[in-house]
Structure 1
């Protein structure tokens, strides 16, 4: 590489950082802006992983995002008067072990929305996590770690939504409702129920959802329903383009917090013989031994039709807070596949039909 090219290569990211810093400084003068983030990395072990040429073996590595997604972002608001505020969030997810962004290319891979918030509720437009992502976090005993409610549904309950508009109601004594629509942005994708071509229905690639929550100091109840259509407007893949219903709740008794949940997936346009229904259940608990130490236990079960059968995931772990921003974690789990199921012990991994897998990870998570 020529010297001039090296200088340009180094100068470019520095220039971008300088522009972003200047923009933030300017925004600070007019808007309340917060820079926030989290970095998570640790040692990760998984057994019985598929290798080259059909081989199998254990895998050790330094990975990010086991305990939680590494991210950084900017969020802010401007007081417009009369209780109305303009709001925005820009948020990127990344893997701390490699520095690579999560969720494809681009700078803001998790959230990039602008909106208005006031006594009548909150309106957002742009990109956000899908409507079930935040509520399922509240219902998951592990808090959506790599071993979590996402494992036995192959991440169906943890996506993002592009081209979205959402509305969240005010809080009525603990009750809130949220609705979201993700536009497919394809020709003919808006006129619901009208075919755009033979065999092709409307709402191509779009997403819809509603989330209801009733939250009190010692318990909460949640119901979430969402639909994700494929590029032809069909529900064609059980763990991708499908209908999803989630019900669950938590109860807190002194230092003990109990979790229970149910998730149903349906895809009525799958190919003949492919699975089109799944039922997912879980129970779990968090117990605060000391203000710094919390123990975690959870059990998950899924049953899939069309001969796929069932699988179970069992998880135990613990979080130890060194401070309000830094914690140490350790988690161990095992997935027990039926003869025809192929779930991976950690979501995003490679499962092997009829084979069990074990996992252990430990690391550090720091928030800022």
Structure 2
């Protein structure tokens, strides 16, 4: 009888424990799930899809024109992931993975899966440190100085994409903001045995940004496999100076870019200068008009070229806009710039371009 009573008591206690433990376990599991969900909230998926109709004249020696659906004239289509973690004491760990693609074909960039950015870093009161792959040090600052926001007709056109490169194997540091003044330094390791400089890249960017104006200076060098500067638009020294001024609804842009490649052999050019002026005018909050003029001159008989463009952006919402751009390039007898970067120009040829489409960001 005593054993039976003991068993009954134990059974009663066990049932009470189950009654208490079951909801407690549910609370613990729910809290864990919520914690995991909160942790996942620190990772953001973002991107942009751009597609439209594109027309270019004189794309071959016979004077033929071309119509196409293109994905990157107004801006790059991209998909990215970014996240961060608060480490305490004002320090934060973060990462970014970003890939460019062509919306007209669905193909990713030939530069690889994470063709634009793949870096991680730490930031805090002492500044920001990043390591991995990033856009070249001049890419984002030039975007801020370009009236078009680096469309296919932009500062990059008359330097054949020199300001659009990425930097692999890089480490960069950005200082804290001192009343609008920041400094960024970047080094891209060439990773060549026996040499620190062969195939490497270095740059420094200075920025002074205020509510109604900004001033920027960027200097970078891209070295070839021998550690020299042998190609004007690929492995060279680059200096960019520029600024913007905002006057109510009008924003004015001006800039200068100098390229030098002192190790060029033969008759290929080793110096070029690019100048530009432009403006954005916000007619209404949803509609912005764009105008820009670019001029380059290249030594060793290549001569000069002028690029002119007009465009407009109409925002249907905060994420979706319609764009339209027209432009023309005027080459001298020996210069061969295309009206849109990437399609290749013909010496002495004039080209016109028109593109319109839609961009959606998420």
1:121 aligns with 2:115: no
Conserved 8 A contact 1:31-1:77: no
1:131 aligns with 2:137: yes
Conserved 8 A contact 1:329-1:364: yes
Give runs of aligned pairs for residues 143-222 of structure 1, distance below 5 A.
143-190=149-196, 203-222=197-216
Aligned to 2:14: none
Secondary structure at 1:289 match in 2: strand
Q: Which has the larger radius of gyration?
A: 2
- For residues 289-321 of structure 1, the C-alpha deviation after alignment (integer angstroms, 9 at most, x for no partner) is 000000000000000000000000000000000
Aligned to 1:258: 252
- For residues 165-187 of structure 1, the C-alpha deviation after alignment (integer angstroms, 9 at most, x for no partner) is 00000000000000000000111
- Partner Cα distance (1:26, 1:40) in 2: 34
Report the alpha carbon displacement of residue 108 of structure 1 after superposing the two structures with TM.
0.7
Secondary structure at 1:312 match in 2: strand
- For structure 2, list consecutive stretches of 5 or more residues without a partner in the other structure: 1-34
Q: Is the alpha carbon distance of 1:138 and 1:103 closer, same or farther for their aligned partners in structure 2, counting shifts above 3 Å?
A: farther
- Partner Cα distance (2:52, 2:85) in 1: 38
Conserved 8 A contact 1:67-1:329: yes
- For residues 144-167 of structure 1, the C-alpha deviation after alignment (integer angstroms, 9 at most, x for no partner) is 000000000000011100000000
> For this pair of structures, how many residues does the alignment match?
328
Secondary structure at 2:195 match in 1: coil
- For structure 1, list consecutive stretches of 5 or more residues without a partner in the other structure: 1-24, 191-202
Report the alpha carbon displacement of residue 367 of structure 1 after superposing the two structures with TM.
0.1
- For residues 202-256 of structure 1, the C-alpha deviation after alignment (integer angstroms, 9 at most, x for no partner) is x111100000000000000000000001111110000000000000000000000
The one of 342, 345, 355 aligned to 2:349:
355
CA RMSD of aligned residues (A): 1.2
TM-score normalized with structure 1 length: 0.88
Report the alpha carbon displacement of residue 100 of structure 1 after superposing the two structures with TM.
1.2
1:77 aligns with 2:87: no
- Partner Cα distance (1:316, 1:103) in 2: 30
Report the alpha carbon displacement of residue 26 of structure 1 after superposing the two structures with TM.
6.4
1:234 aligns with 2:234: no
TM-score normalized with structure 2 length: 0.89
Aligned to 2:52: 42
- For residues 317-365 of structure 1, the C-alpha deviation after alignment (integer angstroms, 9 at most, x for no partner) is 0000000000000000000000100000000012000010000000000
